[in-house]
Amino acid sequence: MNQKYQLSPDVLSQEVHGETVLLDLAGETYFGLNEVGTRIWQLLKQDHGFEDMLEVLEQEFDVSHERLQADVAQLMEDLIAAGVVKPHAPDPSP
């Protein structure tokens, strides 16, 4: 399934030298994302789903599908746990 995500409106992001800093205004915490994490954040902002992100990242980075899938899944779990993103509920209409 191509899970989509919703970014928290309480998070500000700033890219600095290829990395991104996220500031959660609600929780008063910040997060640093490396180059790959930054690219994932960019794709999330463009409303890419999980499978879409994997497809783009496989073309841009030299990494196995299994490793990429595990790493992206872990980052998404971390971002969800921190309240920075949440899974987008599927559209209930048929």
Cβ atoms 4, 47 nearer than 8 A: yes
Q: DSSP string covering the chain, please?
A: ----EEE-TTEEEEEETTEEEEEETTTTEEEEE-HHHHHHHHHHHTT--HHHHHHHHHHHS---HHHHHHHHHHHHHHHHHTTSEEEPPPP---
Mean predicted lDDT score pLDDT of the chain: 91
Residue-wise pLDDT for 10-19, tens only, equals 999 999 888 9
Q: Which domains does the chain have, with CATH numbers?
A: 5-84 (3.90.930.60)
Band of residue 94 on the pLDDT scale cut at 50, 70, 90 = low
Please report where in the chains the tokens 């969800």 appear, as a residue: 80
Residue-wise pLDDT for 29-59, tens only, equals 888 999 999 999 999 999 999 999 999 999 9
